[in-house]
Amino acid sequence: MAERLVTFEQDGAIGTVTLRRPEKFNALDIPMLRALEAALDEAESAEGVRVVLICGEGKGFCAGGDVEAWGGMSAADFQVQWVRYGHRVFDRLARLRQPIIAVLSGHALGGGLELAVACDFRVAETQVKLGFPETSIGVVPGWSGTQRAVRRLGAQTVRRMAVGGEIFLAAEALALGIVDRIVETGKASGEAKTWAEKIAERGPLAIEAAKLMIAVAEGEESAAATEALASGFIALTGDLKAGVGSFKTKQKPVFSRS
């Protein structure tokens, strides 16, 4: 059996999703996106996981979309198989129930930065470079770099990268709010785990609810988040138990509003 391109591992309350294509600096192609989607499903369903780390094997976090993977696609395939599918996977990441910390021990460029921005927090090592260089080869950020990134990082910061072509080092990225913490080379994983452990000590349901409410405020997912919060509240009530019980016994329910 071939080695998996993206893996999920659990260590107590901390889950780790690892991109494993180091020979390509973890550049994303369709098989990588499929493997990432499967690993996120594992992470969300894993019992006891309260925080998820996402990192890249080798020297790079993620070099973005693999040009060789999409360069020969037709316009229709590029739109549907590449851009829209990538959006779906990145939306899956952004809407994971657990908080996610991107561990940037290597460069995060193009789709790699879009991947990091879909996470809740970013820890970067000092040597890391971040940016949206797509326009240098005649394309635009296609996996929410002009949408989610603008909401989370601000329009002018994204404009400087996507239009102005600026590539930021970690210290500049920290000042601009692109990353949340910077550490020395080799220390990102340890810093992220320490941070994750502190988050994991907090009330898990409160953390999930807070993440959902923030997502609503920033326009990440209004309808789904509202229904999830309301349904979770109703699930704890006596009215739900009465309704389900009456369905089973085929009797009229008696609701107590408790």
Phi, psi (deg, nearest 5) at residue 60: -120, 145
- Residue the block writes with tokens 């890249």: 56
Active-site choice (9, 37, 42, 114) = 114
Active-site choice (57, 125, 134, 220) = 134
Candidates 10, 15, 9, 6; CA nearest to 199 is 15
CB 94 within 8 A of CB 112: no
**Region at 104 (left for phi over 0; alpha for psi -120 to 50; beta for the rest):** beta
- In one-letter notation, the amino acid at residue 64 is G
CB 166 within 8 A of CB 131: yes
CB 56 within 8 A of CB 18: yes
Q: Mapping DSSP to helix (H, G, I), strand (E, B) and coil, where does residue 256 land? A: coil
Candidates 128, 108, 228; CA nearest to 183 is 128
Cα distance between residue 161 and residue 138, in whole Å: 14
Q: Is 134 annotated as catalytic?
A: yes
Would you list the DSSP string of 58-71? TT-SB--B-HHHHT
Q: Is 68 annotated as catalytic?
A: no
**Is 48 exposed, middle or buried, given 0-12, 13-18 or 19+ CB atoms closer than 10 A?**
exposed
CB 160 within 8 A of CB 166: yes
Catalytic residues: 114, 134
